[in-house]
Structure formats: C-alpha cells, structure tokens
Amino acid sequence: MKDEKPIVTLIGTGQAEIGKVFIHKWPSSKCESCKYSSVCIRNLEPDRVYKVIKVRDKTLPCDLCEMEMRVVEVVDAEIPAAVPSKQAIERATITARLPNCKEQDCENYKLCFPIGLKDGVRCEILDVTESLRCLQELPLKKVLLRRARAS
C-alpha cells in the first residue's frame, strides 16, 4: 500500500499519543459554529477508525467540551476482520461485504462485523493471519484491513 497522507485534526489531550486508535463520532450541532470545526470534525468521517501517527506541540481550547485539544496527525487504522478465504490474499484490494449472519454468540462475530468497517468499502488486505471457525461453516480467514484510498 502506498504511504497514506496523514489528516491533521484535533483530539483531547488525554488521547493524544502515537498509536492511539479512536472512532470519530458524530459531532454536536454546537460544533458547527466553532472556528476549529474544519480541522476538528469536518476532515474526518463519522464512524471511521483512525490511528494517531504524530502528536504536534500545539493545543487549542474546546469551549464545548471544556478541555484542551491537541493537534495530531491521523491515518485510517488497521481493522481486524473476517473475510471469505478465497479473498484472503495479502495486498489484495477487496470490497468489504458484511455477511448475512445472526449468530451473535459466535466467537468471531466481532470480526465479521468489525467496528468502523462499512459494507461496500474498498479495503486493502495488509495481513492474513489464521483460519476461523464459522458456525455457518463458511470458509473464513482473519485478516488485517485498511480502507483503500482512491488512486
């Protein structure tokens, strides 16, 4: 995968450490009028998982949260997931398809429905780690995915 261009954003100083992974949530309606909203919320996609790769030495006040926000650089985080074995090829680009499964007690349910992965999103397989046991007897592999960027 090509090196991903980092996104500059703001997060609470308590989360601002290299390697920290977080889910960007929907902003409050009060955020829209903030002078920092273009950096803090508008350049990230809601319900996406990001990883901090650099912490800058600049903080800004968030009046809404009543806390200091730190300027950081983030990229899309790697997401552990289950994919059909025939698609589990390292460095392959696939379209994520969430399965039609209701087996919520399955030990791999969270891999089949990982937080931050949306159906239909193009992803690159970074690593293939193991075969998984599926209650529906589907051949699945555990992989590490990252959203593919448009070329």
Tens of pLDDT, residues 86-114: 999 999 999 999 999 989 999 999 999 99
- HEC sequence for 93-138: EEECCCCCCCCCCCCCHHHHCCCCCCCCCEEEEEEEEEEECCCCCC
Structure confidence at residue 150 (pLDDT): 66
Question: Residue 60, exposed/middle/buried by CB under 10 A (0-12, 13-18, 19+)?
Answer: middle
Amino acid at 97: R
Closest CA to 74 of 40, 50, 97: 50
Structure confidence at residue 1 (pLDDT): 44
Percent of the chain surpassing pLDDT 90: 66
Structure confidence at residue 6 (pLDDT): 94
Structure confidence at residue 27 (pLDDT): 74
Residue ranges per domain, the chain? Answer: 7-76, 79-147
Residue ranges of the chain with pLDDT lower than 50? 1
**Spatial contact of 88 and 111, defined as CB atoms under 8 Å apart:** no
Structure confidence at residue 56 (pLDDT): 97
- For the chain, what is the radius of gyration of the CA atoms? 18
Query: Tens digits of per-residue pLDDT, 8-17?
Result: 999 999 999 9
Instruction: State phi, psi for 11 to the nearest 5 degrees.
Output: -140, 165
Query: Residue 40 belongs to what H/E stretch?
Result: helix 37-40
